[in-house]
Amino acid sequence: MLPVTYYVALSAILFILGAVGVLIRRNLIVIFMSVELMLNAANLAFVAFARYYQSMSGQVFVFFVMAVAAAEVAVGLSLIVAIYRARHTINVDDLSEMKG
């Protein structure tokens, strides 16, 4: 069995990839996917630690996180669709009606 460090390192890499993706990508859908990557990095860490501690609760938390992520997808995608219908673009740089 691989030591838990490997899993945690992988989850950290995924989390950083997600965070960097949110900051540098300009397409709303890709930004959104990067956020999901961050949540799934946390899921991986939860499962790895749950295995390490032999505790079921860590695995149950993953279900909570997945349910919340699904709710966020429902709201987020409908917002993106609404924006696309109105402006025919999903580039964040075009979303700058307000400044100051």
Partner 1 sequence: MTLNTLGSDFVILLPLTFLLGWASLLLLVDLFVPQERQDTMPLLAVLGLVATIVLSIMQAGQSAWAFQGMAVVDGFSTFFNVLFAISGLVGVALAYDYLRQMDLARNTYYTLLLFSVGGMMLMSAATDLIVIFLALELLSIPLYVLSGFARPKGESEEAALKYFLLGAFASGFLVYGIALVFGATGTTSLAGVVQAVHGGALLNPMLFIIGAALMLIGLGFKVAVVPFHMWTPDVYQGAPTAVTAFMALGAKAAGFAALLRIFLTAFPQVSADLTPVLWVLAALTMFLGNVVAIAQRNIKRMLAYSSIAHAGYLLMALVPYGQQGLSGDVSASLLFYLVAYALSNFGAWAVVMVLERQDDQGLGLDDYAGLGSKSPFLAACMTVFMLSFAGVPPTLGFVGKFYLFRTVLQGGFVWLAIIGVLTSLISAYYYLRVVVIMYMRDGDPQTHPAPWLRWTAGVMAAGVVALTFFGGPLFNWASQALLTAF
Least separation in angstroms between CB 6 and partner 1: 13
Residue 87 interacting with partner 1 (CB under 8 A): yes
Local structure of 91: helix, strand or coil? strand
3-class secondary structure per residue, 2-68 = CCHHHHHHHHHHHHHHHHHHHHHCCEHHHHHHHHHHHHHHHHHHHHHHHHHHCCHHHHHHHHHHHHH
Region 12-51 residues binding partner 1, contact defined as CB under 8 A: 15, 18-19, 22, 28, 31-32, 35, 38-39, 41-43, 45-46, 48-49
β-pair partners for 27: 91
Tokens of 73: 């997808």
Indicate which single residue of 6, 82, 89, 91 sits in contact with partner 1 (rule: CB under 8 A). Answer: 82
C-alpha to C-alpha distance for 73 and 26, rounded to whole angstroms: 18
Contact positions toward partner 1, by CB under 8 A?
4, 8, 11, 15, 18-19, 22, 28, 31-32, 35, 38-39, 41-43, 45-46, 48-49, 52-53, 55, 57-58, 61, 64-65, 68, 71-72, 75-76, 79-80, 82-83, 86-87, 95, 97-98, 100
